[in-house]
Chains A and B, each alone.
Chain A
Amino acid sequence: MSTVVEAQGVSKRYGDVAALDQVSFTLHENRIHGLLGRNGAGKTTLMQIMTGQNFASSGELTVFGERPYENEPVLSRVCFIKESLTYPQHFKVRHALEAARLLFPRWDEEFAQTLLADFRLPLNRKIRKLSRGMHSMLGIVIGLAARAPLTLFDEPYLGLDAVARHLFYDHLLTDYAEHPRTIVLSTHLIDEVGDLLENVLLLDQGRILLDTTAEELRGQVVTAAGPAAAVNEFAAGSEELHRETLGRYARATLRGRFGPAERDRAQQLGLDLEPVSLQDIVIRLTTARADGGSRPRPDRATDPGKEPIR
């Protein structure tokens, strides 16, 4: 599996603020990656650096094995559709498509026309007169029809209704299946795209919190619910991300290895082991950090609010 993007200790500072802090990761060829994290986590900055639109303060980042900055052979294979994509004032929808056709070597005009029809985009309307949703659709049409070997979507669907979003997912999936390429999806709608992702990169406060496959992540985090004492026993050895208690009943979100053996043990302890959605995993991981770091069990005793009743 070859590497498309490789980052080594990439940092980006704006004055005292570190938008990215020692970020290292790799993106693999022909996979769909989710770039997740809260607002201000550094996702957009990272994608701008990947596409040569911004510069790292330090560290090394390569795309297709080369630095992307002002690198024509690399960038002509990259398409970055950002939420804030702006078009020249005088552009109509068809002008934007003409420009994209000129600039993306693998542009598929037929596919673009199909997408336009599906999204019901008016070719001759001025782009600045489009609704927010239609504006987003135009970006999506360009991003998909460009067929760039590395395609990045940064919150591509502001103002899109559920129908249009699912249209996007469906086209993305079928076209990706026929024309595999490396895709990066940055979004808040994690539940909607969770099943589309093969890899997950979670950024928080400029740092990489997670770099794993979606499949693996699903098995890594569970909630264990039952008598507090049993939860405590079961939670020993795994990282506790969150805990709620109700009387002698406790529910803990845990991160660790949960294979058949652990599941048997939970059953013996009378615990309900429940899966956690990708969305909830991300919420738990990012809020655990915001509380001042994730807490392994021993620390919990110092936090009276979260101390279970024994």
Chain B
Amino acid sequence: MDNGRPIFLQIAEMIENSIIDGTLAEESQVPSTNELAAFHRINPATAGKGINQLVDDGILYKKRGIGMFVATGARARLRDRRREQFAQQYLHPLLAEASKLGIGADELKRMIDQWEQER
């Protein structure tokens, strides 16, 4: 776990990433709080908080007596949300650094195109 950022958020994010990249399919079971706690060596209450956040978001749902499952449509919803956050999380720092270096918007676009071609 990296320091500083709330661990429960990191746990939630890790599960989200697994859902987005397909490791955790929709309607499949998610590791239990205790499994997550043991694996990441964190307090079970913290792991539970991460899971609960995803439940509140409708990403996971609880099957009584069995465990937590990925909700249908969770993947699409997470992708939409991440897309919304993309500008804030990635474009904002990119533009800030670019302006510090005197790179204008046009030049930046050219750089991106060039990068795409070379890839």
Contact = CB atoms under 8 A, between A and B. Distances in A.
A197 B41 contact: no
Contacts of B34: 174, 177-178
B1 A195 contact: yes
Interface string B1-18: 111111110000000000
Given A177-B38, A195-B40, A31 B45 contact: yes
Contacts of B7: 195, 215, 218
Nearest to B43: A198
A222 interface: yes
Interface in A184-210: 194-198
A276 B4 contact: yes
A215 B46 contact: yes
A170 interface: yes
Interface in B40-85: 40-46, 49
Contacts of A219: 6
B108 interface: no
B119 to A, nearest CB: 29
Interface string A254-284: 0000000000000100000011111000000
A32 interface: yes
B91 interface: no
A267 B43 contact: no
Given A178-B34, A267-B96, A218 B41 contact: no
Nearest to A193: B41
Interface in A18-37: 31-32
A178 B3 CA distance: 27
B24 interface: no
B45 to A, nearest CB: 5
Contacts of A276: 3-4
A176 B43 CA distance: 9
A32 B41 contact: no
B37 interface: yes
A195 B42 contact: yes
Contacts of A85: none
B111 to A, nearest CB: 22
A125 B92 CA distance: 64
Contacts of A274: 4
Interface of A: 31-32, 166, 169-170, 173-174, 176-178, 194-198, 214-215, 218-219, 222, 267, 274-278
Given A218-B7, A276-B3, 5 more contacts: A173-B38, A174-B34, A214-B46, A218-B5, A278-B3
23 contacts: A169-B41, A170-B38, A173-B37, A173-B41, A173-B43, A176-B44, A178-B34, A194-B3, A195-B7, A198-B43, A198-B46, A214-B43, A215-B6, A215-B8, A215-B49, A218-B3, A218-B4, A219-B6, A267-B96, A274-B4, A275-B3, A275-B4, A277-B4
10 tightest CB-CB pairs across the interface, nearest first?
Answer: A275-B4, A177-B34, A277-B3, A195-B42, A198-B43, A177-B44, A275-B3, A198-B45, A174-B38, A195-B1
